[in-house]
Chain A
Amino acid sequence: MKERATHNETTHGLSRRGFLGLLGNAGAGAAMSLRAFDAVADVVPHRVPTYRKVETLGSVCAMCVNRCGIRARVVDGVLEKIDGDPRNPNSRGGTCAKGQAGIMQVYDPDRIRYPMIRVGERGAGKWRRASWDEAYAYVADNLVKIIEKHGPESLFWSSTTDLTETFFVKLGTYLGTQNNARHATLCLASRNVGYFASMGGVPEIDLANSKYILMYGANRLESFELPYNIDLVDAVQKGGKLVVVDPRMTYTAAKGEWLPIRPRTDLALNLALMHVLINEELYDKEFVANRTVGFEALKAHVAQNTPEWAEKETEIPADKIRQMAREMAAAAPAVAIFPGRRTSWYTNDTIFRQSMGMLTGLLGAVDAPGAAYFGGDKAKLGSYSWAIEPVELAPKFDGFVEKFPLANHEDGGYVHMRDAILNGTAKNPVKGWMIYHQNPLVGVLDSNKTLEMMKQMDFIGVIDIQPSQTAWMADIILPETTYLERLDPVWAPASTPAFMAIRQPVVATQGEAQPVLEIIKGIAKELDKRHEFETPITEAFDFTMEEYVDAQLKGTALDRAGLMKEGIWVAPTNGLKFGQFRSGEMTFKTPSGKLEFVSERFIRNGYPGLPVYASPREEPGKQRLITGRHAWFTHSFNQNNKWLNALYPENEVWINPAVAKEKGINDGEYVKVKSSRGEIRIKAKVTPRIRKDTVFICHGFGGEKGGQTTLAGRGGPDQVLMESAADEISNNQAMHETFVEVLKG
């Protein structure tokens, strides 16, 4: 299919053996240990120790979504080592296993190095190398053909968050389609909508100073979110209490008190906690009186939700629930009701997250040290002035906006949109699918449905660095440069202190890969030759990345050359300021301007204003499947990375010992896991760290043999098993709604 990398894994500084040694100490966001020097020493003999040109360049990691500050050590033009940048206020010098293994993203022999056009059946793995000119023409031909036959609403446009995603999304906009399906619809859309209802947005948490931290499922020590995974450790070391509510005992839960809740009953626990706080008058009366609305309605709503009631639902003892409420009240306002990140669990996720905002308000755990807060610092950037977007964009297919009025319409909703395509309920047939930096064949539940949808497409184009499972099914793969080979837009997140950082090329590009902006510009030229768009696409992308960055940096402390030299700029800060929301100087972004126990936004869109709990269904003899991350992988992005794969080559199904005994299953043996949607073969991990009614499978493994030779055939794909389900308000996919049978070999 493609030429093999010219560098093998032992010629560029750090060998796999060295890397494994390096990670002997790898915990949550662990910084480099002294063992790193041993590891580097392992490979020094490969090189002549003199006459080496050594450069250290600052940049921004892209091995997950956190964008840690990195320092890339380049020797004779070869990337030898990646370290954390201690100047970065979020990552603070740490870099995890993924970050250090970024080297193998560049030198991975499986990497796509040239445009590839399919020549056999989809998925057969037969490709031919194409020139970029041919590739651009091929994509433009197909897109224009579909637009002219069916209209721009016949294009499906999906991508995952990164600094360059905006260019891909804009291309769709200029083509006239609004059929985006972005990462949030697979991950955190329900959290966003739930907090939008109660608090007007998702707050930040001053976690380092929290005295009581309640985490529902959030697994910060394996699924990093900066700076929270670092601050969490600090808070616990300072004596803060950590309570993790999760059917599975994660490494995060191991650092605190684990409450193995019955799945899909988290809302019941929240309602009972609020019941106790109100009943025992432990809530923050001043905050509730001045900064909230709907308290009396809430009081009536939770009157029946006693701890005894909740015990039957959650299987958490009533006394424990009372104890939790009392301890939280005693610690308030320094209480962190942690909002979480991936909240694609159940069909009631949005109202559960709404209740988390309500509990936060009842405790007055807002706008104070150790509590939730809004605001913080942010470096002020300029912006590039884009060409005029089309005014009349094609409507999203199958009434997504009307059916999910509070969902983020720019993010879309994968489950609804896929159903609309498969059921033919979209106004026009959807025939073209462009995918950037996303692997929906793994990331979206019920992957057999995704395969069915693919069969309906006349054209599938993928921009990626790896021959992912999705890319393998495409008609054309356009190879993108890795994050270590390109200049990206400046990044300036909300952070205290504020900072801006730049991702810049630290090594030469492998093969003929191109940055996505250049790929889009190439396609644009061919599009304009074939079709008259409202705004010519070439006009829309008539700029370089350097010009885009210059526009961002206009009026800031550093110009492009200065920021590239430093890699990062950190602003002076006075630290977090509190009190403005409590005093009323600042208002919540809700219709009332206050924290809403009864959501006006929900009511005016036809939903109940208060969260209504329903007991979960059960299927006797089966277990509920839940999924999650491993610290060494991001979604399905880097399981094929040779160094990371060596650390954890295949996933397992976690099963409780009592259930395993009943089924005659031994630890480490291969078993079948079966649902209404599919069946997989996977190794069993028999462990008391999971409830009897639940099984866990780490996401992102397995699948049919494809272009990823390291990963191929290893582990079991959870998405094959998952039934199609989505949150009722946000349309976030619901990955924990499937029951499975685990069967001996």
Chain B
Amino acid sequence: MNVGMKKLAAALTLVCVGMASVNALAEDANPKRGRVYFKMVCTVCHMTQAGKAIPPSSSTMAEWGAYMDADKHDKTGASNASVKYYTSQEYRKSVADSNKAAKKFLDVPDDQMLADVRAFAISGAKDSDTPASCE
């Protein structure tokens, strides 16, 4: 594990205290894949639906961790309004025809995709060492 991955793992551990299952996933999370998914699936939808990008650097590592744990994607009241849903194979399949990244990652298991996105968001948080935009 290189220094970058060690720092990421440490950051994930910091915000995932008490969540053994998530920690186990974090060790294998691929923030690079999470980055591509975040930029090409999440941001595309945010720009359309919310009219703005929501970059990882808009929140702290702890806030991203808490947000992911709460798993409440938005306040629309929609039945599927969870982060878990928007990273799931079900969602990816539903937009695969119009979104190449969703199509590319169709076979990635739900838990893995969620962990990847979580890892990228936390590694790019505003109090991280590498705050990330959506560009």
Contacts and interface: CB of A to CB of B under 8 A. Distances in A.
Interface of A: 200, 380, 382-383, 385-389, 391-393, 399, 401-402, 405-406, 409, 589-593, 601, 604-605
B111 interface: no
Contact of B40 (A388, A392, A601): A388
A403 B32 CA distance: 20
Given A405-B3, A405-B4, A388 B131 contact: no
Nearest to A166: B135
Interface core residue of B40, B52, B57 (most chain A CB under 10 Å)? B40
A386 B135 CA distance: 10
**Nearest 9 pairs of A and B residues by beta carbon:** A591-B127, A402-B3, A589-B126, A391-B33, A388-B101, A391-B32, A388-B100, A401-B4, A402-B2
A533 B36 CA distance: 17
A341 B127 CA distance: 24
Interface in B1-26: 2-4, 7
A456 to B, nearest CB: 26
Given A387-B100, A401-B4, A402-B3, A409 B130 contact: yes
B32 A393 contact: yes
B47 A589 contact: no
B57 A605 contact: no
A601 B129 contact: yes
A556 to B, nearest CB: 12
Nearest to A399: B2
Interface of B: prevailing SS:
helix
A593 B57 CA distance: 12
A200 B127 CA distance: 8
Contacts of A589: 57, 126-127, 131
Contacts of A380: 52
Nearest to A387: B100
A401 B3 CA distance: 8
Contacts of A605: 7, 129
B59 to A, nearest CB: 11
B82 interface: no
Contacts of A393: 32
20 contacts: A200-B126, A382-B47, A391-B30, A391-B32, A392-B32, A399-B2, A401-B2, A401-B4, A402-B2, A402-B3, A405-B3, A405-B7, A409-B130, A589-B131, A591-B127, A592-B127, A593-B60, A593-B127, A604-B129, A605-B7
Contact of B36 (A385, A388, A592, A601): A388
A601 B61 CA distance: 13
B23 to A, nearest CB: 19
B8 to A, nearest CB: 11
Nearest to B100: A388
A392 B4 CA distance: 15
A401 B6 CA distance: 12
Interface residues of B, number: 23
B44 A590 contact: no
A383 B32 contact: no
Given A383-B135, A405-B4, A593-B60, A391 B36 contact: yes
Interface of A: prevailing SS:
loop
A526 to B, nearest CB: 23
A382 B104 CA distance: 24
B129 A402 contact: no
A601 B131 CA distance: 12
A521 to B, nearest CB: 19
A590 B131 CA distance: 10
A387 B129 CA distance: 27
Interface string B39-80: 010001001000010000100100000000000000000000
Interface string B95-135: 00000110010000000000000000000001101110001
A180 to B, nearest CB: 15
A200 B130 CA distance: 11
Contacts of A385: 40, 44
Contacts of B131: 589
Contacts of A604: 7, 129
Contacts of B40: 385-386, 388
B92 to A, nearest CB: 13
Interface core residue of A200, A388, A604 (most chain B CB under 10 Å)? A388
A388 B127 contact: no
Nearest to A389: B36
Given A383-B47, A392-B32, 4 more contacts: A388-B104, A406-B129, A601-B129, A605-B7
B133 to A, nearest CB: 11
Interface core residue of B30, B33, B57, B100 (most chain A CB under 10 Å)? B100
B4 A590 contact: no
Contacts of A405: 3-4, 7, 129
Contacts of B101: 388
Contacts of A406: 129
Contacts of A590: 127
B102 to A, nearest CB: 10
Interface core residue of A380, A382, A391, A593 (most chain B CB under 10 Å)? A391
Nearest to A589: B126
A554 to B, nearest CB: 10
A191 B131 CA distance: 16
Contacts of B44: 385
A409 to B, nearest CB: 7
Contacts of A409: 130
Interface core residue of B32, B33, B127 (most chain A CB under 10 Å)? B127
Contacts of B104: 388
Contacts of B30: 391
B7 to A, nearest CB: 7
Nearest to A539: B100
A109 B13 CA distance: 62
A601 B129 CA distance: 7
A387 B104 CA distance: 11
Contacts of A601: 129
Given A392-B32, A393-B32, A402 B57 contact: no
A538 to B, nearest CB: 15
A228 B126 CA distance: 28
A393 B40 CA distance: 17
